[in-house]
Structure 1
Amino acid sequence: MPGTSRAGDVPPPAPDSAASDSSAPDSAVFLGVRHHSPACARLVGRAIEALRPAYVLVEGPADMNDRLDELLLGHRLPVAVFSHYRDETRVATSWAPLCDYSPEWIALREGHASGAEVRFIDLPSWHPAFAERADRHTNRYADAEARYAQATRRLCAHFAVDSVDALWDGLFEVTAPDDGPDDLRARLDAYFDLVRGDAEADAGDRAREEYMASWVRAAVARAGQRPVLVVTGGFHQPALRALSYRSSGRGEGESDRPSAWPEVPTPPDGALGGSFLVPYSFRQLDAFAGYQSGMPSPGYYQQLWEGGPQAAAQGLLRSVAERLRTRRIPVSTADLIAARSLAQGLALMRGHPYESRVDVLDGLAGALISDDLEQPLPWSGRGTLGAGSHPVVVEMVAACAGDTEGRLHPDTPLPPLVHDVAGQLARLGLADADEPVTFDLTAEAGLARSRVLHRLRVLGIPGFTRVSGPADGADPVFTERWEPGPASGREAALIEAG
């Protein structure tokens, strides 16, 4: 049946050739995950509880290892590790987002709570291994899906689904209630072995995998008879397993002593680089907004994480209805009944034990949209919303994303610019402005306020918009008017600008 998600429908994982290798570190347990997958996050939590590992190794920037306590301060998620680098020839920035249902976050939190030593094991985000990822929306968790697009297309055709996300939901997120952790892990191993195949990674990913494997070997040497849990993107898992079983050779920065932790690269002389935590939001996480990795519709997956698939389906229907009514788009009770009936019918036809995200969205579209659509429904593929998208579709996508915004704990270290701007806005009476402000540019006080807001404008910091004033230095206009707007993202923008 289309969308069937039973374990027997996926080929079994390839035999682990290293299992018979006398030099293999039998205490290393590899969990390949999809970033921001509730199912994978639960699997990580259960693995830590069952294994009680000595070390939990997580795909993440190793230069943050001395500052892991910052991540555990009690932030409101989502937050991200923002990394920056600049030298005479290259400027690079990247984000490593974490939300409640990120497997990496669960590994960090639950590993720490269990008494394990937690380490990030990937190269720093500024490293040349990430040099090809220079786009503004780039994040370090982009696992190069283009290289295994052919395998996922074949899987989509086999399961009769339109997109990788619908395929993933049917196989892993919305599964039968009797599926246990072992069933899930077997399917994950099979899936990642298939999509990685024998394709060779690019030079950047090869360098990252060599480096991560050196951390695994060091942890196994230090752990004695206790297990080591390794949590990385599933794309890397097959290569990491093979590299970690290697009996000789050393990765980048690895010491001659097998139990010594690998060296963490530092920026070369004359370069500037570093990392800070920044607030993040569900809108930034959403694949429909341009996020390259992880899951679309983070608001839906938050509900899936908190309440399970049935509650998430009902919550999604409710969220869409509330948003459409707020936007004064008519949605009657009869429409919602029709949408629910369609979603349930689609789930039954597709072999889903519960209504999936796509089942609910398809049901809503069928009940609410009577016009001819000029383009395919966005959840039938991946990418941003195109121009001319139907208004109902736009609001449905926004409802799926949710409006959750992260907040850093007050004790989080921040660059000086954040404190300087906060101090200047408070001193000038602009910190809590909620109405338009007009400045007399012939007075020192008005000129000082204008200068600060113009500096923020040049840096691209949200919060104020200039609506009137002199067009240039020769324009005989001596007043300037600014309107306060949503300050969402101001702190993150200041951190990045700093």
Structure 2
Amino acid sequence: MTGPLLLGVRHHGPGSARAVRAALEAASPAAVLIEGPPEGDALLSLAADEQMRPPVALLAHATDDPGRAAFWPLAEFSPEWVAVRWALANGAAVRFIDLPAAHSLALTDEFRTEHEDSGEETPDVRIDPIAVLASTAGYDDPERWWEDVVELRGGRGSQGPRADEPAGPAGGEPAAPDGADPFAPFAALGEAMTALRETYGHGGHDRDLVREACMRLQIRAARKEFGDSAVAVVCGAWHVPALEARTTVTADRALLKGLPKVRTEMTWVPWTHRRLARRSGYGAGIDSPGWYGHLFAAPDRPVERWMTKVARLLRDEDRMVSSAHVIEAVRLAGTLAAVRGRPLAGLTETVDAVRAVMCDGSDVPLDLVRDRLVVGDVLGEVPDTAPAVPLQRDLTRQQRSLRLKPEALERELELDLRKDTDTAKSRLLHRLRLLAVGWGEPVTGRGSTGTFRETWRLRWEPELSVKVAEAGVWGTTVLAAATAKAETQAASATALSEVTALAEQCLLAELPEALPVVMKALADRAALDADVGHLAQALPALARSLRYGDVRGTDTAALGEVAAGLAERICVGLPPACTGLDADGAAEMRGHLDGVHTAVGLLPDADGTGERWRTVLHRLAARDTVPGVIRGRAARLLLDEGRLEEDEAARLMALALSPGTEPAEAAAWIEGFVGGASGGGLLLVHDERLLGLVDSWLTGVPAGAFTDVLPLLRRTFSAYEPGVRRTLGELVRRGPGAAAGPAVTDAGTPGFGPGLDAARADAVLPVLRLLLGIDDNDLAGVAR
């Protein structure tokens, strides 16, 4: 080395990572400078901690606005991570030299605001040097070109070390193949980037000029401290020509003068392979982090080891995959590589081989391989000594105490609220939801629907670390932060439904200090709001809160009084509110009707709320001025509860479908009575009297009006299950009373024709003979 060693790399490239390690072993620099935010220098020593497991990321956020954040992700196969680990293991100084995060966060915000004010879209015209080089070489896929020229060349990467190569100091790989020049790959890549920079300049990204000026200043300082030949620089290959350029200190400082700045905090956070694979947001933009990780970690025979991983995964999913499949898939991958002129089998060849040999040509199991292995669900870990906001520390403590470990793979969690531990888990998840930390999402469970059970879908995303930092402004513990936020939201809420939803959240999250504040706001809003629709929207959440409060043993007396008052006001105001509505208003009010009916069923009936509500339903079902969809729905709710006799239901239907009723209004009544997924189809199947009324009305609709009511009828009946629709069709085809005819089976099973179709029965016989292995003589005399 006669000057600073510039190691231009591809971020998150296993080939670059191996080459960096070989170059550092050969050069043994006293200082390693890495592209990254200098605020992270104080955290670099944690990379040697045994608890630190990549993928991880440096997280920087504005102290006063944690939502303004940036990540610098690092995987095990990232050249920067390899350089950090090498420096720490060999006693070399290691520093970050990129533009400080204090400036980059401020510049990002300023850049976004500038374009939003001008009405422009944020431009995305940056040159992809890898894509340009791949296109020049005749490749249409940059990833495939990179694999061929870097990952699969020289007996490295896909083949691993030869048996006679000496083992290296980290992970069993040799520092470099015998006789190979460890600096040659960087020289070649630097020449290519120099040609690109001469053609494209800064490649469409002005900020690179500022970043490169900052890096040059840091390199000068390190050269002065350690000497020219004792400094190695690991950076994106695109920056190498700019770092080699001869510039003055004055010129570089001029580029940095006057940059905006914000106060920042920085820490390590866990990252995932899935987030490395995303091309937008905080993703690193690589397509196959799981495959790259495998190439970097496999000591030898990576294709064979990869196929073994695939086979293990498919076996775990109950697919029949044997060792013979693995052997054949390896052979096919190698053959495909030879036919395609590739140095070794890459990801494309292994995927094609797995599809053909292990997946029987199907992409369904192959999608699982891509998701679990090619991308992967690896979640990194950071040591306890890493800096963190107090709220994050409290959350980590509770996660460990409850054995609720964050995982990158989505999973379902079933909770039984009769158990103390499960109740504590539920509390934590509900409090995090209130703080907008979406680690868990409630879902409908497959088992019991009792209120003592909860089902959650959990998945930890790296961005949740930012959400936790943002929520830290509310308090230092999860309980304190959720309480403070609930109280603030109660004071600022303007809609009654917002406060009722907040009351429900407070009960689920068990926030006893926030509940009185929320209840006062709820009582105030309920007293002032006279809109029946708003009251109807608010009541279901209150009813659910009462039920959840019961199972958790929470005192909900005050909540019960507010709910009873709302129910009383709804019973008084709903009938007049249902008159004079247009079609859209009637459809919305029908939804409120369903919600209130369900809520009343959950409320205690000591004060006669249920009986008053049923009186309201009777009034709605019989009032001509109420839209048909509401009258029909009211009648159906009464019928389902046994509060309306079948004869009375048939009378109401006959009135609604009488010749004097407008066809559109009659169709709306049918929609309310038997529409949607309310089981109306089965009601018509089992009560042919009601089906006959609908059939008679429909056949009598004038031709001019039929096209107007057809869309509503189609929507009504299309929601039925296919079997229900088929049965109704058979019943209508047979006509009223035919189900009791002599041609029907004893059970009178609907959905079948009245007689035997001899031709269709005879068509079954050849298949039956084949299955049973018998001839025509054996079937002779057997009755159909």
> Normalised by the size of structure 2, how large is the TM-score?
0.47
CA distance in 1, matches of 2:254, 2:43: 20
What secondary structure does 1:77 align onto? coil
Partner of 1:170: 148
Partner of 1:51: 27
Contact 1:56 1:231 in 2 (8 A): yes
Instruction: Map 1:391-410; keep pairs closer than 5 Å.
Output: 391-398=364-371, 399-410=373-384
Contact 2:134 2:146 in 1 (8 A): no
Partner of 1:246: 247
Partner of 2:387: 413
Q: What is the one-letter code of the residue matched to 1:104?
A: E
Q: How far did 1:174 drift?
A: 0.8
Partner of 1:339: 329
- Show CA shifts across 1:180-234 (max 9, x none): 4244223322343344443232222211111111111111122235421111011
Partner of 1:286: 277
Greater relative contact order, per chain length (Cα 8 Å cut-off, separation 6+): 1
CA distance in 2, matches of 1:348, 1:133: 49
Say whether 1:324 aligns with 2:325. no
What secondary structure does 2:365 align onto? helix
Partner of 1:71: 47
What secondary structure does 1:188 align onto? helix
CA distance in 2, matches of 1:156, 1:267: 38
Q: How far did 1:239 drift?
A: 1.4
More helix by share: 2
Partner of 2:95: 119
161-170 vs 298-307, which moves further: 298-307
Instruction: Map 1:201-216; keep pairs closer than 5 Å.
Output: 201=202, 202-216=205-219
CA distance in 1, matches of 2:143, 2:220: 34
- Show CA shifts across 1:413-470 (max 9, x none): 221012223456788x686897513279xx9x9999866432211345466443479x
Q: What is the one-letter code of the residue matched to 1:84?
A: H
CA distance in 2, matches of 1:349, 1:212: 45
CA distance in 2, matches of 1:349, 1:159: 19
Q: How far did 1:152 drift?
A: 4.6
CA distance in 2, matches of 1:233, 1:219: 19
Q: How far did 1:165 drift?
A: 1.1
More strand by share: 1
Q: What is the one-letter code of the residue matched to 2:35?
A: E
CA distance in 2, matches of 1:31, 1:318: 35
Q: What is the one-letter code of the residue matched to 1:297?
A: S
278-287 vs 332-341, which moves further: 332-341
1:314/1:193 Cα in 2 relative to 1: closer, same or farther (>3 Å)? Answer: farther
Q: How far did 1:478 drift?
A: 11
Q: How far did 1:406 drift?
A: 1.2
Q: How far did 1:325 drift?
A: 3.0
Partner of 2:58: 81
What secondary structure does 2:69 align onto? strand
1:164/1:410 Cα in 2 relative to 1: closer, same or farther (>3 Å)? Answer: same
1:454/1:252 Cα in 2 relative to 1: closer, same or farther (>3 Å)? Answer: farther
- Show CA shifts across 1:310-336 (max 9, x none): 522222222222223333445465654
Please point out which of 119, 127, 147 is paired with 2:126.
147
- Show CA shifts across 1:158-185 (max 9, x none): 5454411111111111112365424422
Q: How far did 1:348 drift?
A: 1.9
Partner of 2:338: 348
Unaligned runs of 5+ in 2: 113-122, 156-176, 406-411, 473-784
Q: How far did 1:62 drift?
A: 0.9
What secondary structure does 2:126 align onto? helix
Partner of 1:104: 80
Q: What is the one-letter code of the residue matched to 1:394?
A: D
Please point out which of 482, 491, 496 is paired with 2:454.
482
Partner of 1:20: none
Contact 2:67 2:467 in 1 (8 A): no
What secondary structure does 1:404 align onto? coil
Say whether 1:453 aligns with 2:429. yes
1:295/1:264 Cα in 2 relative to 1: closer, same or farther (>3 Å)? Answer: farther
- Show CA shifts across 1:118-174 (max 9, x none): 11011233524445998xxxxxxxxx995334x655543554544111111111111
74-83 vs 332-341, which moves further: 332-341
Q: What is the one-letter code of the residue matched to 2:415?
A: P
Contact 1:44 1:107 in 2 (8 A): yes
287-296 vs 399-408, which moves further: 287-296
Please point out which of 296, 302, 315 is paired with 2:305.
315
1:153/1:484 Cα in 2 relative to 1: closer, same or farther (>3 Å)? Answer: closer
Q: CA RMSD in A?
A: 4.1
CA distance in 1, matches of 2:281, 2:422: 40
Q: What is the one-letter code of the residue matched to 2:455?
A: E
Partner of 1:472: none
Say whether 1:438 aligns with 2:417. yes
Contact 2:32 2:231 in 1 (8 A): yes
Partner of 2:610: none
Contact 2:193 2:240 in 1 (8 A): yes
What secondary structure does 2:36 align onto? strand
Unaligned runs of 5+ in 1: 1-24, 135-143, 255-261, 373-389, 470-476
CA distance in 2, matches of 1:63, 1:402: 30
Say whether 1:274 aligns with 2:253. no
Q: What is the one-letter code of the residue matched to 1:82?
A: L
Partner of 1:35: 11
What secondary structure does 1:84 align onto? strand
CA distance in 2, matches of 1:301, 1:109: 19
Identical amino acids, percent of aligned pairs: 29
Partner of 1:184: 185
What secondary structure does 2:264 align onto? strand
Which has the larger Rg? 2
CA distance in 1, matches of 2:8, 2:199: 17
1:145/1:36 Cα in 2 relative to 1: closer, same or farther (>3 Å)? Answer: farther
CA distance in 1, matches of 2:213, 2:19: 25
414-423 vs 213-222, which moves further: 414-423
Contact 1:414 1:495 in 2 (8 A): no
Say whether 1:297 aligns with 2:272. no
Partner of 2:70: 94
Q: How far did 1:53 drift?
A: 1.9
1:332/1:132 Cα in 2 relative to 1: closer, same or farther (>3 Å)? Answer: farther
CA distance in 2, matches of 1:56, 1:118: 5
1:486/1:220 Cα in 2 relative to 1: closer, same or farther (>3 Å)? Answer: same
